[in-house]
Amino acid sequence: MDVMGEALAISRADMLRLAEEAEVSQELAGRIIDGICEVAGQFAAIADQLHPQTITPDTLQTIQRRIDQNIALLRWP
């Protein structure tokens, strides 16, 4: 997905600029970003709880690591 011309390293600033273009307040957009990051940070645990032993631990770890990298980009500097 491309956000504000950025595809691989989408930052919080990119998301907030997109929100501004969509006439969503910075405050609301920030709360939405933070809420999504909170849930995404628990992906591996949630997936394992909902589908135990369906996804290998290595795969869950790989996916969670990439999610965590994206979350880091969305945090305030």
If pLDDT is split at 50, 70 and 90, which confidence band does 9 have?
confident
Model pTM score: 0.82
Residue with the larger pLDDT of the pair 60 and 10:
60
Contact 14, 45 (CB under 8 A): no
DSSP summary character for residue 1: -
**String of DSSP letters for 12-77:** HHHHHHHHHHTT--HHHHHHHHHHHHHHHTTHHHHHHHHSTTTS-HHHHHHHHHHHHHHHHHHS--
Q: What is the pLDDT of residues 50-73, one digit of tens each?
A: 999 999 999 999 999 999 999 999
